[in-house]
Structure 1
Amino acid sequence: MKYFLKSILLLFLLPLTPVTAQKLTTLSVEKIMRDPKIWIGTAPSNISWSDDSKTIYFDWNPDKNLSDSLYGYSLSDKKINKVSAAERLKSSAGNGVFNRSHTLKTYAKNGDLFVVDFKNFNVLQLTNTVDRESNPAFSGDEQSIIFERNNNLFSISLSNGLLTQHTDFKSGAKRPEPKLSDEEKYLKNDQIKMFQVLKERKDKKDAGKKIADSDKPDYPKEIYIGEKNVSGAKLSPNGRFVTYRVSQPDKAAKSTIVPSYVTESGFTEDIPGRTKVGAPGTANEFWVYDIKKDTTRKVSVKNIPGINDKPDYLKDYPKQDSAWKKKEREVSIAGPFWSENGENAVVIVRAQDNKDRWIMSLNADSLTLRLLDRQRDEAWIGGPGIGGFNGGELGWLDEKTIYFQSEATGYSHLYSLNVKTGKKTQLTGGKFEVQNVTLSKDKKTFYIMTNELHPGEQHFYRMATTGGERTRITQATGAHDVTLSPDETKLAVRYSNSTTPWELFVMDNQTAAKPEQITKSTTEEFRSYKWREAKVVTIKATDGADIYARVYEPKKSNGRAVIFVHGAGYLQNAHKWWSQYFREYMFHNLLVDKGYTVLDMDYRASAGYGRDWRTGIYRFMGGKDLTDNTDGAKWLVKKYGIDAGKIGIYGGSYGGFITLMGLFTTPDVFKAGAALRPVTDWAAYNHGYTANILNEPQSDSLSYRKSSPIYFAEGLKNNLLICHGMIDVNVHYQDVVRLSQRLIELGKNNWELASYPMEDHGFVEPSSWTDEYKRILKLFEEKLK
């Protein structure tokens, strides 16, 4: 006891020394894969402005809490404060729709509706209900707010608060009035003629009904939709037409199930999954409810130019090609997008096979569609500002002119089009992409994000809506995620470069204005390591194309190299900003510390390089995307003197798929590979992604046969590691179970499978990340010697 007391006393007598942050001198997998919010820091995200343009809001977590919180930066006192619950409720978080003069804005938050008056920035709450209100917009006369509730359309008057229902959609079928047989009609008429009391009572009842009907409120027409779903109801500016979509999933479409084994209940629980590619799709229809005529009519698509066009790939299937019957392709319709005066309406029609996108003028009275622009792609329609459920980028410059994006030149560019004359004007052009578009309040200026300076940079430009010269506003090398203030005088900029995570800056909306940094999110430990800036280079592919890539060079090479294959297919990683693959980036620094040369390629189908690059894998995944990586391996040998027998490859999701195809079909190029959560058979993946690239397996089996690794497993010669989460609802664990059985039957013994019972497609647990990357490092260290 004396010794214990003496020890305690000595502790109090020892001089206090300041606690210094830990320095990161040597990288290890354990250090890299720790919880990033604890040892790296959390970058600001979800940037928005207050309606008075005096405060920038953003999600942040400088205190390393379990989740992010909303913070505000005041431009007046230049201070950051956590936003109170009351202020959060009033904040529109950058959402909402303005009236034409930009004096009012309406928005939905937490299922209720609000209006901001920009004269004094007072916020008026319009609803406080259990039901959820959404998608508010101003009526044509701007005296009411139109919104959705329970899939029906309502309006609320700004002057007196009157709530009006404009649609009455009902499930099921309307019960028909009972019909009398001829015998019943005769008996009824005979009774009325015979008995005076019956006649008097009937006349009295009919008169009462007539009076009741005349006093009945003018409710909207009951619209019965059967077992279909209704969505996207919109009221025309003149209040006469309601447009809406109805859809009906095919009941024959079978959904998958993902078993979860480690659960709170102790029982195996099933997670409902998706359908597989080629499953029966959802039928979509576009309807117009004419309030004046009290009619509902479906818009016909049979006269859309090219609606019956046959895809070119059927030429590879003579029987299917000759048996093709002229038929309307299934389409989905987005919109309508009404001009401000309500005189003109435009819709975006997209073929469900994704080979056509039509922009069409809609006459809601005659129910006719008139072609304004057609984009046809025998591969699939895509690119920045072109895809998406809402049809892509489209808006009105004036009452007769729309703007939109198209890949007609091979790159996503901005166009204007007069809907009366059909005259189309290309506003931007060149071998770069317009990646984001914002129209100024006065509709005289576009603010656009492009990669025209370099495919690996993103900058913010100002351009007149008539086109012409663009003025670059941001200057620093890297990427700029810009949010324009409501008064358009300031920019909130999330910026990063290749070695520094995203931070928040504010700057004037002027050319070459100096940005002022608002946040400092990274920890001292993270900053203490000198993270490498990879070189962004171009490598010549076998077919002569330039492949953009990042290369990490060691001070002293060990003669070994690793090629990293990013996921998603359509994604960019050979760029000059902070990668979303930050763990992989740090792992590459660890490899370089050990003497490896690391190559990170934007292979065929990567984002940022235009239509031809995007569709370079059409009908053959594992074709040019793989040869781009094998060309990269040859380049490493030639440029850096890498031993051709000491090259490894790894990647997740699509990167895992390419790893498998590399080891199975080019077995002499890669000595070892780690396939993380890989697709092994594209026929087992989802429809939305896969059908674009490979069509459907039942109609284009050749594409699936040559694109799926499971068919080439006999080619495995070198060392393979597979890692997969068991509750992956994207690429199902079943994929690697099937491949495992195939490898077992083939008698292969140079592979292993690591399973993660509590991980989905994207891992979340540091312990899982650590285990996975220790295995990857061990694979390369042992097999590339």
Structure 2
Amino acid sequence: MNKTLHALLFAFIALGSTALIAQTSALSVEKIMQDPKWMGTFPDRINWGPQSKTIYFNYNPEENPSDSLYKIEVSNLDQIQKVSLAERKAMTSPYGTWNQDETKKLYSEDGALLLYDLKKDTSKELIDLGGRLGNPTFLADEAQIAFEYDDNAYVLNTETGTLKKLTNIQSGKARESREEKLSEKNQWLKDENLSLLQIVREREKQDSLSRAYREMTADPEPYTFYHGDKQVAGLQVGPKADFITIMLMERDRGESTDVPNYVDASGYTKNLRARSKVGEDKTEVSLAVYNIKKDTVYTVDTSTLPGITDLPDYTKDYPDKEWEEKEREVIVSQAIFSEDGSKAIVNVRSKDNKDRWIALLDLEDGSLETLDRQRDEAWIAGPGIGWSFGGGTLGWLPDNKHIYFQSEASGYSHLYLLDVTTGTKKALTEGEYEVFDPFLSNDKKSWFLTTSEVGPGERHFYKMPVMGGSMQKLTNLPGNNEVSLSPDEKYMAIRNSFSNKPWELYFKKTGSSKDAQQLTSGQSEAFQSYDWRVPENITFKADDGAMVPARLYVPEASVKNNAAVVFVHGAGYLQNAHKWWSSYFREYMFNNMLTDLGYTVIDIDYRASAGYGRDWRTGIYRHMGGKDLSDQVDGVEYLVENYDIDLEKVGIYGGSYGGFITLMALFNESETFKAGAALRSVTDWAHYNHGYTANILNEPSQDPIAYKRSSPIYFAEGLEGDLLIEHGMVDTNVHFQDVVRLTQRLIELGKDNWELAVYPVESHGFIEPSSWTDEYKRILKLFNESLLAE
């Protein structure tokens, strides 16, 4: 067939595809991918007024250029009111720090520190120093308030109005440290000059005597702590103001990459400064303790942490390399003081991501006593576990001897208590589910927490006794329930969604058995006019025996074309086979349209997806494109066996991590996948960022095996099916360089069954409806032509 006839045939197929869409679906790519405002108005950023009388939320029924603030009064739940600009300016910030009995709250606004009184329902300005005030905290004597300003700690007495500076922290080095020691040559010159010239000797002697006299007669200078070239990343004043912890940071992200912007308004190509590549994060974090009574500072010592020199297991794969057992670099969190100020704990993480220690900090000398060590030969993570600079769920009970934290010790992230006096650890929750965002009630006698106990595809809100016991389920709407509890804990503002219903706002009395009352109804008539599917939540057996969760879209028998499309969600650690409104709502709508057209669509929570515990989370350790890819293949086999799918008619698509999996599928599983669309995909993990990649694959120079078996660019010779690559040119997350390098590789390999579509104004998350439309029209065309053409 000559090229002209071939082109005419493809044009005919494309026109036929368009006609098929128009005849069999009320949806079109243009409709789905237009500005999301067409779907309606949906609430977000829910919070309460301090008096528990008003629910505030962002809403935009008037289609303003940006979301507006609206409110609903508990006394009149049927009326939604827009918050006026004057009222908004007078509002108390929803953020801040409450005192022990939740009657007063500290918060900052425009650089000033304010105190809100719940009983009086008024705020008053305490102090304004003309700059940012950070970390305001009530001390044990609640008349005194500590805060951070200009890298120093202060205490304000609210009764007397007196302000006291607790620290004298300065950058650079002490004076004696700054005095330069003369070189041997210059010292010789100075000595010779003094020996030759009498007047110079006399003046030098007089200057020395004058300095000694001034130092002897001057008032003693306050102790000054010099932090050198490091940054003060945070100060924490103990409840008795006798100890202050100082977090110090030296940032070094390594060599940054440049992302060219070819469509800058200037008409010139401008480089956007972007992240460095994995393996280049040299950031150092340490913690120091200022002992006010001793007037001195000492650094927290991490050298005695158990296992601090342990080598990771993967080193066994490199027997020819000498591995030095040395003290590993760690990141120490800010200290968390007990309520009486007698104790403090810190969270310590190894920079190789294998260990997390929770340790008791000896405030007198900076030493650590390990309370709990979590070791994971893959990497430490999971809900509530915390990342680099924070401890996640971590704190003290009011008894000043129990700490609480989350751990994956059981294989799922659960809530624990630990008695620091005995070392006894107790799991407050247990089972094959995960815990999210636990917090103590106002009276400190109960926990409020969200869990997936009902099932991994749902989230519900619970109440539980502080020392553990049966959990009282407080929500009953199916799907996901994001609860904002009123300050007095009497009411719940619930943001709920279901698989085919976007987020709406509901109200319910805490503990009531009555159904929640719906407060908003934001769907537009255009959105409601289509009967959106509720995908079937299924599980299928993987080749290794694991049961894999997925969402399934099945077409009517009358339009079924025996073709299948696999959608792969992004982010890796993200959940999408659930029962609530997906953050991939465009893809959800596109999958509905594909189903209208006769395709069977499966959306899989492959290995490494969130919501299924530690083993699922770490299933891709040292091999991305391993089990996460085989799960896609096993999903197709399930469709072939149970839904009469033709193995010659299977496509796959996804963005970001989903784009990466698509490339691995087309390169390594050509017998299963005949066409694929890879959007903004990583092609070589050695070129991605440090924080994400080093967790999973370690560092390229340390573990090259993991990178070579995980990066699509090494497998491009396996391409046989039809591949569509789509990427934004100003992507500062997955750089356009990724697909440029892959493009050159495909050219050198002589592959001709692929095409590249570029989007000059788009970064990683597309914004413009025209870009989304063009992107998905190409995907639909790919599937119609590659999977359905005879």
Please tell me whether residue 529 in structure 1 is matched to residue 536 in structure 2: no
Does the 8 A contact of 2:259 with 2:274 survive in 1? yes
Does the 8 A contact of 1:653 with 1:676 survive in 2? yes
Structure 1 residue corresponding to 2:250, chosen from 224, 248, 251: 248
Does the 8 A contact of 1:414 with 1:434 survive in 2? yes
CA distance in 1, matches of 2:687, 2:523: 41
CA distance in 1, matches of 2:43, 2:93: 14
Tell me the equivalent position of 1:747. Answer: 750
CA distance in 2, matches of 1:594, 1:110: 55
Q: 1:573 to 1:233 in 2, by over 3 A?
A: same
**How far is the alpha carbon of 1:485 from its aligned partner?**
0.7
Does the 8 A contact of 1:111 with 1:134 survive in 2? no
Tell me the equivalent position of 2:546. Answer: 545
**How far is the alpha carbon of 1:110 from its aligned partner?**
4.0
Does the 8 A contact of 1:41 with 1:64 survive in 2? no
Tell me the equivalent position of 1:390. Answer: 390
Does the 8 A contact of 1:721 with 1:753 survive in 2? yes
Tell me the equivalent position of 1:20. Answer: none
CA distance in 2, matches of 1:339, 1:551: 50
Tell me the equivalent position of 1:282. Answer: 283
**How far is the alpha carbon of 1:232 from its aligned partner?**
1.6
CA deviations on 1:566-624 (whole Å, 9 max, x unpaired) are: 00000000000000000000001111111111100000000000000000000000000
Tell me the equivalent position of 2:585. Answer: 582
CA distance in 2, matches of 1:361, 1:607: 31
Give the secondary-structure state (helix, strand or coil) at the position aligned to 2:665.
helix
CA distance in 1, matches of 2:80, 2:629: 48
CA distance in 1, matches of 2:210, 2:694: 64
Give the secondary-structure state (helix, strand or coil) at the position aligned to 1:638.
helix
CA deviations on 1:425-452 (whole Å, 9 max, x unpaired) are: 1111000001221210111111111111
Amino acid at match of 2:236: K
Give the secondary-structure state (helix, strand or coil) at the position aligned to 2:307.
coil
Point out where structure 1 has 5 or more consecutive residues left out of the alignment.
1-23
CA distance in 2, matches of 1:643, 1:99: 65
Point out where structure 2 has 5 or more consecutive residues left out of the alignment.
1-23
Q: How many positions carry a matched residue from both structures?
A: 748
Amino acid at match of 1:213: D
Amino acid at match of 1:359: I
**How far is the alpha carbon of 1:171 from its aligned partner?**
2.4
* Aligned positions of 1:455-466 closer than 5 A: 455-466=456-467
Give the secondary-structure state (helix, strand or coil) at the position aligned to 1:635.
helix
Tell me the equivalent position of 1:152. Answer: 152
Q: 1:619 to 1:25 in 2, by over 3 A?
A: closer
* Aligned positions of 1:600-679 closer than 5 A: 600-679=603-682
CA deviations on 1:172-227 (whole Å, 9 max, x unpaired) are: 22332869999989x99x989x99xx99x979x959984x627x8xx6x3322222
CA distance in 2, matches of 1:506, 1:531: 25
Does the 8 A contact of 2:298 with 2:365 survive in 1? no
Does the 8 A contact of 1:155 with 1:166 survive in 2? yes
Tell me the equivalent position of 1:685. Answer: 688
Tell me the equivalent position of 1:232. Answer: 234
Give the secondary-structure state (helix, strand or coil) at the position aligned to 1:669.
coil
Q: 1:719 to 1:419 in 2, by over 3 A?
A: same
CA distance in 1, matches of 2:698, 2:479: 36
**How far is the alpha carbon of 1:145 from its aligned partner?**
2.3
Give the secondary-structure state (helix, strand or coil) at the position aligned to 2:625.
coil
**How far is the alpha carbon of 1:131 from its aligned partner?**
1.5
Please tell me whether residue 381 in structure 1 is matched to residue 380 in structure 2: yes
**How far is the alpha carbon of 1:473 from its aligned partner?**
1.1
Structure 1 stretches of at least 4 aligned residues deviating more than 6 Å after TM superposition: 177-185
CA distance in 2, matches of 1:421, 1:364: 19
CA distance in 1, matches of 2:215, 2:774: 80
**How far is the alpha carbon of 1:367 from its aligned partner?**
1.4
Q: 1:264 to 1:511 in 2, by over 3 A?
A: same
Does the 8 A contact of 2:629 with 2:661 survive in 1? yes
CA distance in 1, matches of 2:332, 2:597: 55
* Aligned positions of 1:162-311 closer than 5 A: 162-176=162-176, 210=217, 213=219, 221-250=223-252, 253-311=254-312
Q: 1:718 to 1:247 in 2, by over 3 A?
A: same
Tell me the equivalent position of 1:29. Answer: 29
Amino acid at match of 1:235: V
Give me the identity figure in percent. Answer: 54
CA distance in 1, matches of 2:772, 2:506: 32
Structure 2 residue corresponding to 1:773, chosen from 772, 776, 782: 776
CA RMSD between the two structures: 2.5
CA deviations on 1:490-510 (whole Å, 9 max, x unpaired) are: 011000011110011111001
* TM-score for both structures, normalised by structure 1: 0.91
Please tell me whether residue 483 in structure 1 is matched to residue 484 in structure 2: yes
**How far is the alpha carbon of 1:58 from its aligned partner?**
1.0
Amino acid at match of 1:492: A
CA distance in 2, matches of 1:351, 1:42: 44
**How far is the alpha carbon of 1:392 from its aligned partner?**
0.9
CA distance in 1, matches of 2:512, 2:637: 43
Give the secondary-structure state (helix, strand or coil) at the position aligned to 1:738.
helix
Amino acid at match of 2:548: I
Q: 1:520 to 1:328 in 2, by over 3 A?
A: same
Give the secondary-structure state (helix, strand or coil) at the position aligned to 1:707.
coil
Does the 8 A contact of 1:652 with 1:677 survive in 2? yes
**How far is the alpha carbon of 1:704 from its aligned partner?**
0.2
Please tell me whether residue 85 in structure 1 is matched to residue 85 in structure 2: yes
Amino acid at match of 1:490: Y
Tell me the equivalent position of 2:21. Answer: none
Give the secondary-structure state (helix, strand or coil) at the position aligned to 1:778.
helix
Q: 1:159 to 1:772 in 2, by over 3 A?
A: same
Q: 1:608 to 1:745 in 2, by over 3 A?
A: same
Does the 8 A contact of 2:338 with 2:396 survive in 1? yes
**How far is the alpha carbon of 1:300 from its aligned partner?**
1.4
Tell me the equivalent position of 1:420. Answer: 421
* Aligned positions of 1:101-112 closer than 5 A: 101-112=101-112
CA distance in 2, matches of 1:202, 1:470: 75
CA deviations on 1:507-555 (whole Å, 9 max, x unpaired) are: 1001533211122222111111110000000011101111110001111
Give the secondary-structure state (helix, strand or coil) at the position aligned to 1:661.
helix
More displaced stretch, 125-134 vs 259-268: 125-134
CA distance in 1, matches of 2:548, 2:60: 38
**How far is the alpha carbon of 1:166 from its aligned partner?**
2.7
Structure 2 residue corresponding to 1:762, chosen from 745, 765, 773: 765
Give the secondary-structure state (helix, strand or coil) at the position aligned to 1:768.
helix
Does the 8 A contact of 1:332 with 1:352 survive in 2? yes
Give the secondary-structure state (helix, strand or coil) at the position aligned to 1:274.
coil
**How far is the alpha carbon of 1:65 from its aligned partner?**
1.4
Give the secondary-structure state (helix, strand or coil) at the position aligned to 1:275.
coil
More displaced stretch, 436-445 vs 134-143: 134-143
Amino acid at match of 2:425: K
CA distance in 1, matches of 2:453, 2:641: 30
Tell me the equivalent position of 2:433. Answer: 432
Does the 8 A contact of 1:726 with 1:760 survive in 2? yes
CA distance in 2, matches of 1:359, 1:113: 32
Does the 8 A contact of 1:57 with 1:93 survive in 2? no
CA distance in 2, matches of 1:130, 1:781: 63
Q: 1:255 to 1:653 in 2, by over 3 A?
A: same
CA deviations on 1:133-183 (whole Å, 9 max, x unpaired) are: 222111232222222223332333212333333333322223328699999
**How far is the alpha carbon of 1:128 from its aligned partner?**
4.2
Tell me the equivalent position of 2:5. Answer: none
Q: 1:191 to 1:715 in 2, by over 3 A?
A: closer
Please tell me whether residue 729 in structure 1 is matched to residue 732 in structure 2: yes
Does the 8 A contact of 1:56 with 1:492 survive in 2? yes
Does the 8 A contact of 1:112 with 1:134 survive in 2? no
Does the 8 A contact of 1:474 with 1:512 survive in 2? no
